[in-house]
Chains A and B, each alone.
Chain A
Amino acid sequence: MEINQRFKTEEVCNPGKPSLFKCCSIKWNQQISIAPLVSFRIIFGLLMCFSLIRFWWRGWIEAVYILPKFHFNYWGFEWVTPLGNPGMYILFAIIVISTILITLGLFYRIAAITFFLGFTYVELIDVTTYLNHYYFISLVAFIMIWLPANRFFSLDAYLRPSIKKAHVSLFTVGMLRFQLAIVYIFAGLAKLNYDWLILAEPMRTWLPAKSHLPVVGKYMYEEWVAYLFSWFGAIYDSLIVFFLLNRKTRSFAYVFVLIFHVATAIFFPGIGMFPYVMIASTLIFFSSDFHKKLLFRLTGDTLLISAPNSTNMHRFRFYKPLYIGMSIYIFLQIIIPLRFLFYPDHLFWSEEGYRFSWRVMLMEKAGNAIFRVKDADKIYEVNNAQFLTPLQEKMMSTQPDLILKYAHHLADEYKKRDIKKPEVYGEIYVTLNGTPSQLFIDSTVNLAQRQLSWKHYNWILPYTR
């Protein structure tokens, strides 16, 4: 009973400060239990460990990072190259070890930095492996570096009891919640478009392929089911954060989190770990009291239930740079998904400003790309399978920046074959959300002459529906 009394004292706005602004600013720095960070550290570490071992076990390290002869690197990150065999395996082993150290809270800061750098390095090797949840993991790993998540129930705190703390500033947990909120809200906003809401595409295309499912399978051809999925998904993504933030609706909202993500895992097994990452991560929305009770049961450590004081509170050494850094981070997280507004043309078609914007399972797009290399009066048609893996070819065929990168690579390759001034032309057909495949880029443009750019590529042909 007494414990419960104390729990209640937290997360209440300081009544002594009347102004709303001041109230919020104080709340931001208010002391809450360290428990949510500890839970998150352990769950995140375990989940990452599992998901990396799964990736390894499925033979993807070899298939994705060792066998391909060419990689679509990120602009500005051309220095990121695969480490070969056994290099890639060693790198993965190091990352796996770092996840275990994160879970145990041993050498936490070093482990978190290693995980962030290692995981991000792997993701930067090839654009065609980009997945939103990999990006999410990189961002969370970056945030975790700065969090005092090892100050309790960790080997670090066991070995050095002086660093052990029971209370942290609210904004530490707040940053994780912010990151999740960004994911959900932008994923929701992205769904508010004509294809998704009015045409129920791509659900209308994808669901009939799920008719094998027990019980629900026979409804997969029904139009209303496609609308139900589309609208439920859009509403869920847009609003779930607000229901998770509100104490009264939280547990109810979490049931929806479970239903939604378990459903996506069943219907779209191809999305892999994403549902589990989200199910685990959204636990951070539960109150610090919830996590504190959990941790108290586990440890019985009375430090957890002591009132905040100067010895058991975690304090950062430098607040000013921290606040500036956080502000910049928050600003970037909001502006990056909105950068598409600066580009003309249909976003799903040109995909300029599409990546890093939480556009998850949003469209059905496929292409067939035929490249020709010309030199004076000579013409060579390219066999893409000789240069790219099926996955790379599939991704490249629908994304203009990858098409350009590949064209430049082709120019280099054909120069090696004694073709002095190779011109590269692409005849590419793309279908988007069930529209008949149409010419994607101007097939008379010499792509070898075009440069990568942040500006709109004017060689992308307009989309007609």
Chain B
Amino acid sequence: MKKSIMALMGNIAVISVIFLACSKGSKDAPDQGGNENFDKTAMLTYYADKMIIPGYTAFQQKINALQAATTAFANAPSPATQTEAITALKTAHLQYQYIEAFNNLTPATSATLEYSVNFCGGLTNTDLLLNGFSVDSVTIENNISTGVYNLSEYSNKSFYSQGFPALGYLITGPNAIAKFTTNTANRVIYINDVAKRIKALTDQVVSDWGIYRTTFISNTQSNVGSPIGNLVNQMAYEMDVLKGPRIGWPFGKQSNGQVFSTKVEGYFTDNSIALAVANLKNLKLVYTAGGSRKGFSDYLNTLGKQNLNSLITSQFDITLAKLEAIPDPLSNSLTAEATAVNTAYGEIQKLLTLIKTDMASATGVQISFMDNDGD
């Protein structure tokens, strides 16, 4: 017994020495060209400092302005204050597209930003009435008339009666100004509550990033739940949302061409395509890191995937061009410009495939929102 344990220990010692010797030898050897290492910490630092934190700070400013304009409108509803509020809403909503790609990172998930600010219904929703970027005007009006509601409730009903869609309805929905004549006090309180909640959550995300930044840039793993894993997964998810709730579903892809024009994003503000384009532009920015040589595109280059990189880059451009070719409002173009929408849809699908399969594969990231054992 003792003898065999001794032999085992001896073997471990010998092999460890060989390993150490090998690794030491290779350390002294000069690096072969063409295999430079990619600095993932620099990549994450770039995302945090140049895109995420400035993105949220800018969003915070737009939300402050939105809250002020909303209050001004609610206190004195008139075409003039309404116009101001619409502009502020559009501006804030547009800036939101530059942070949506970071929705699955800890600060945004713990603030439930996706659900409470710009709910798209997710991909698994099977509700026939409330889906995509619907607005639950029935619940909103009910909330106003009873004055009893809880916006932090975790339910589809609650998500569909707050955030940008609800503000769109309250500010510029049918007879938005006239509706303030009845039940005025409750209506004012409700619209202010919706704006207040967006602001509170935004403030929370901004301050959380001050703490989370260190965790984010120091974790260079690629597994499920890691920053890199999350960024790639969210890119794929954003493409799925673009293909589904943003364009494809209202276009009737799931429903044999039956169009759902009221379920487009930003239905009341008539800027769906502008929003979608901003969203995709930001996704491309995440991919290229703005030409800083620190992004996923550069990572692919380092991995020797130059072909894939140029394929993805050009598919981004093609998709953007086809998307921009659809005139706003999308609710009208879904039928009036069906060919343009269909063309854009086809390109979105191609880009989705490239990101979900080729890019995820190449970066060693699993597209899965669940941790699992695999072999």
> Does B1 count as interface, using CB distance less than 8 angstroms?
yes
- Inter-chain CA distance A216–B37, complex, in Å, is 13
CB distance from B304 to the nearest CB of A (A): 8
Query: Assuming the A-B contacts A366-B360, A390-B367, are A211 and B373 also in contact, with contact meaning beta carbons closer than 8 angstroms in the complex?
Result: no
Among A210, A251, A380, which residue has its beta carbon within 8 angstroms of that of B11?
A251
> Does B353 count as interface, using CB distance less than 8 angstroms?
yes
> Cβ of A436: which chain B residues have Cβ within 8 Å of it?
307-308, 311, 358
> Does A120 count as interface, using CB distance less than 8 angstroms?
no
Smallest Cβ-Cβ distance to A264: which chain B residue: B375
> Does A89 count as interface, using CB distance less than 8 angstroms?
no
Q: Do the beta carbons of A211 and B358 come within 8 Å of each other?
A: no
Smallest Cβ-Cβ distance to A427: which chain B residue: B349
- CB proximity to B under 8 Å, residues A246-294: 251-252, 254-256, 259, 269-274, 290, 293-294
Q: Do the beta carbons of A205 and B4 come within 8 Å of each other?
A: no
- Total interface residues on A, CB under 8 Å, equals 63
Q: Do the beta carbons of B311 and A208 come within 8 Å of each other?
A: no
Smallest Cβ-Cβ distance to B26: which chain A residue: A219
From B249, B356, B375, name the one whose CB has the most chain A CB atoms within 10 angstroms: B375
> Cβ of B37: which chain A residues have Cβ within 8 Å of it?
211, 218, 221
Q: Do the beta carbons of A270 and B223 come within 8 Å of each other?
A: yes
Among B8, B40, B302, B370, which residue has its beta carbon within 8 angstroms of that of A63?
B370
From B244, B248, B367, name the one whose CB has the most chain A CB atoms within 10 angstroms: B367
Smallest Cβ-Cβ distance to B123: which chain A residue: A385
Q: Do the beta carbons of B302 and A221 come within 8 Å of each other?
A: yes
> Cβ of A360: which chain B residues have Cβ within 8 Å of it?
375
Query: Assuming the A-B contacts A255-B8, A368-B353, are A390 and B370 also in contact, with contact meaning beta carbons closer than 8 angstroms in the complex?
Result: yes
> Does B271 count as interface, using CB distance less than 8 angstroms?
no
> Cβ of B38: which chain A residues have Cβ within 8 Å of it?
208, 211, 221
Q: Do the beta carbons of B220 and A381 come within 8 Å of each other?
A: no
Q: Do the beta carbons of B354 and A437 come within 8 Å of each other?
A: yes
Q: Do the beta carbons of A378 and B363 come within 8 Å of each other?
A: no
- Inter-chain CA distance A385–B370, complex, in Å, is 14
> Does A317 count as interface, using CB distance less than 8 angstroms?
no
CB distance from A359 to the nearest CB of B (A): 9
> Does A58 count as interface, using CB distance less than 8 angstroms?
yes
Query: Assuming the A-B contacts A297-B1, A381-B248, A429-B357, are A270 and B222 also in contact, with contact meaning beta carbons closer than 8 angstroms in the complex?
Result: no
> Does B150 count as interface, using CB distance less than 8 angstroms?
no
- Inter-chain CA distance A117–B213, complex, in Å, is 49
Q: Do the beta carbons of A212 and B40 come within 8 Å of each other?
A: yes
> Does A361 count as interface, using CB distance less than 8 angstroms?
yes
> Does A379 count as interface, using CB distance less than 8 angstroms?
yes
> Does A133 count as interface, using CB distance less than 8 angstroms?
yes
> Cβ of B253: which chain A residues have Cβ within 8 Å of it?
381
Q: Do the beta carbons of A132 and B375 come within 8 Å of each other?
A: yes
> Cβ of A430: which chain B residues have Cβ within 8 Å of it?
357
- Inter-chain CA distance A238–B35, complex, in Å, is 30
Q: Do the beta carbons of B363 and A209 come within 8 Å of each other?
A: yes
> Cβ of B292: which chain A residues have Cβ within 8 Å of it?
none
> Does A222 count as interface, using CB distance less than 8 angstroms?
yes
- CB proximity to A under 8 Å, residues B282-326: 302-303, 305, 307-308, 311
Q: Do the beta carbons of B40 and A211 come within 8 Å of each other?
A: yes
> Does B371 count as interface, using CB distance less than 8 angstroms?
yes
A-B contact pairs, 10 of them (CB 8 A): A63-B370, A205-B303, A208-B38, A255-B12, A366-B361, A367-B357, A381-B248, A385-B240, A386-B125, A391-B368
6 additional contacts (CB under 8 A) given A221-B303, A386-B124 = A205-B361, A270-B374, A271-B374, A366-B361, A366-B367, A368-B356
